[in-house]
Amino acid sequence: MTTEAAIKRCEPEAEVTLAERTRDRRAYRPNVDIIEQSDELLVLADVPGVKPDDVDIQYEQGLLTIHGKVGPRQDEPNTNWLLGEYGVGDFYRTFKIGEGIDAAKIRAELKNGVLELHLSKAEAAKPRKIVVTTE
């Protein structure tokens, strides 16, 4: 069903039109692994600091969009920073995935800063064994 060519990253210059940014905050591209299993595609995305209520996942016409919001972790005006490397902002990724996904069965879990998306394959897209009989 799925090959490397069937899952495409949607970059700004691609055919997908990205929404205009209305916030004055950074947007990060989380690292993502996509694994094909016999009955589903498993998407693993690193989204540290994102809370379950701050994740928005959309799947429409073969387009998967992951958007997560991360707010400040400290009381910024009253924090005496010695080192501040960890950014605050939004996570955003979009992928074009084949139509062989059963959208009603998509489920998501957030564990230790890793978002797990389970994209169940539609029955028509699952491999099946053909039995050969003799006459």
- Domains of the chain are 4-16+31-125 (2.60.40.790)
pLDDT value at 8 more than 70: no
β-partners of residue 91 are 28, 68
14-56 pLDDT tens trace? 444 455 455 566 788 999 999 999 889 999 999 988 999 999 9
**Rounded mean pLDDT, 83-99:** 84
**CB environment 73-91: b (16+ within 10 A), e (fewer):** eeeeeeeeeeeeeeebbbb
Structure tokens at 11: 């970059």
